[in-house]
Structure 1
Amino acid sequence: MMKLSACVEWLFAAEADNFADRIRLAHTSGLEAVEFWKWTNKDLGSIEWALNETGIELASFVAEPMIPLTDSANRDAFLDGLKRSIDVARRLGARTLIAQAGDDLEGKSREGQKAVLVETLTRAGEVLEGSGVRLGVEPLNTLIDHVGYFLHSTVEGIEVAKATGRAEIGIIYDVYHSAVMGEHTPAVIDDNIDRVFHVHIADHPGRNEPGSGEIDLRKRVGWLIEQGYSGAIGLEYRPLASSAETIAATRQILG
């Protein structure tokens, strides 16, 4: 059965204020995994308790601090924070961390920023070596949700990951962001499924649950699985109905 992961920043937010309780609700709804964004604003003790109590997996969370990785002045701070994020990931059993490139920096060339990003992620790979934790940089759409963001192309994200020469560095492939940018999944992933560390989905328009928009999520996710992707499918959408209802419907849609 396909492994689904609830992003509890949005899913079960209407049902519970407490993140630990959202994890419990995800488990009750039959989900195999959960994920969230920042860890520094969470009660890690209660989250650890809920994960152990339910046996549910923590698929991913964001490596902090969230600062532009295209600025070399931020490199040391990010790498120091990455070490702490790795410690939290190992404590909670997560094997994938998420990095965001940050916004395009005014007055700096795209080529120069890309070179800095590659170098920072290369250094990150060295920090990650032997930890059992991987880092995926996430391309985001710049048309609706993240105007001004540097890394908006999946192809370029894969190029950056491969340029590091580090097996610990890949991408987070968000089908919603990719579709908003007009990308076709097979064309942009091609034969690089090994660099896809985690997948996010939402429908478009609206960034709501599968079936609420126009993206053929069954086809796109099915293709990723056919290519060998075996990780969790992250449900990172704003539910229009109850979270449990949308999860049940998503299972049917994805097949």
Structure 2
Amino acid sequence: MRAPNGLRFDANLKWLFTEVPFEERFDAAAAAGFTGVEYADPYPYPAARLRRRLDDAGLHQVLINAPTGEPGSAERAGVACLPGRAGGFRGDLERGLDYAAELGSDFLHVLGGIRPPDVSHDRAFATFVTNLAWAVERARGTGVCLVLEAQNGRDVPGFLLDTQARAAAVVEALGGDGIGLLLDLYHVQVQEGDLVTTLREHLPRVRHLQIADPPDRTEPGSGEISWQRVFGTLLDASYLGWIGCEYRPANGTVNGLSWVGRHCGAAASPAEARR
């Protein structure tokens, strides 16, 4: 979906169009004007089947997550930071790359994982960086960019990458080639605040953005973020990437999309606003 101000939004099919079964959400997204989609977990479905859904709806796959464990398990946010689980991490990464290739996905999100209480932060972080160094080499030449996301401690207690600076440090350590940041503005606001400053600082490393409005993770304009200022900051920086709509619609998906016109129709960049 191309907004009037030129920003480009994709639909997260885990969160949007939940009024219909998952496989029907592709057509629903296309009918609402989206040209790209993302979702965390394609693995319950054969990749070829999802590829047909994309092709039939005329949609581009923007992002998927690498496989993770079952909800409630110690592996629910992946095993990348868990010592002694390198084999499992590599198997998950291989499967994620296979799906990304079949679906034509731009990005594969590799989750930081949840640090076990009996593992020090330094050991978990070193394990994560070692695993990611292997992953970057493995993904080289595939056309798939790996992305890392910091998540807030309220929603995901114990998540290893709990600040943008920590996620950015991994990207910097690995050279930034084939790996970048997935910056979720909801997580930034909940965990760190100072949203526009953080966005400006990390945009050079950002490959993908996601949006939702705290405190309830609903659509832009329903919470506490000044979206006109945020979108103006992106325009001022000439951000050309996708922005994933990863929010819980407050009153139905299609009705909720009115935020696009309200917050993107007349958003000016900060530089323009100063003129």
TM-score (norm 1): 0.91
Deviation of 1:111 (Å): 2.1
User: Highest Rg: 1 or 2?
Assistant: 2
Q: CA deviation at 1:225?
A: 4.1
Query: After the TM superposition, which residues 1-255 of structure 1 pair with which residues of structure 2 at under 5 Å, given as runs?
Result: 1-14=6-19, 16-17=20-21, 19-65=22-68, 66-143=77-154, 145-255=155-265
Q: Percent identity?
A: 29
Deviations 1:96-140 (A, max 9, x none): 011211112223222222222111111110011000001111111
Cα distance, 1:208 vs structure 2:
0.6
Computed over aligned residues only, the root mean square deviation of the Cα atoms, in angstroms, reads: 1.8
The answer (yes or no) to whether the contact 2:163–2:192 under 8 Å persists in 1 is no
Gaps of 5+ in 1: none
For residues 13 and 24 of structure 2, the distance between their equivalents in structure 1, rounded to whole angstroms, comes to: 10
Cα distance in 1 for residues equivalent to 2:107 and 2:205: 12
Partner AA of 2:88 in structure 1: A
Aligned residue type for 1:146: V
**Does structure 2 retain, via aligned residues, the 8 Å contact 1:203–1:210?**
yes
C-alpha distance in 2, partners of 1:225/1:167?
24
Number of matched pairs = 252
Q: Tell me, in whole angstroms, the C-alpha distance in 1 between the residues paired with 2:79 and 2:231.
A: 30
* Residue aligned with 1:149, SS: coil
SS in 1 for 2:37: strand
Structure 1's 125 and 140: CA in aligned 2 closer, same or farther, altered over 3 A? same
Shift of 1:235: 0.4
* Paired residues of 2:200 and 2:233 also in contact (CA < 8 A): no
Provide the rounded CA distance (Å) in 2 between the counterparts of 1:204 and 1:191: 21
What is the rounded CA distance, in whole Å, between the counterparts of 1:214 and 1:4 in structure 2?
20
Distance in 2 separating the partners of 1:53 and 1:70? 38
Between the aligned partners of 2:244 and 2:192, the Cα distance in structure 1 is 20
Q: Cα offset for 1:43? A: 4.6
Deviation >3 Å, runs of 4+: 43-46, 189-192
Could you tell me whether the CA contact under 8 Å between 1:118 and 1:160 is conserved in 2?
Answer: yes
- In structure 2, give the amino acid aligned to 1:49: R
Give the conservation status (yes or no) of the 8 Å contact 2:183–2:206: yes
Give the match's secondary structure for 2:208: strand
Contact 1:60 1:94 in 2 (8 A): yes
Bigger shift: residues 184-193 or 222-231: 184-193
Rounded to whole Å, the distance in 1 between the matches of 2:194 and 2:88 is 35
Contact 2:8–2:241 under 8 Å retained in 1: yes
Tell me the TM-score normalised to structure 2 length. Answer: 0.85
Q: Would you say the 8 A contact 1:193–1:228 is kept in 2?
A: no
CA distance in 2, matches of 1:121, 1:220: 30
- Show the counterpart of 2:271: none
Distance 1:82 1:244 in 2: 34
Answer yes or no: is the 8 Å Cα contact 1:29–1:244 preserved in 2: yes
Give ranges in structure 2 of 5+ residues lacking alignment: 1-5, 69-76, 266-275
Q: Within 1, Cα distance between the matches of 2:46 and 2:250?
A: 27
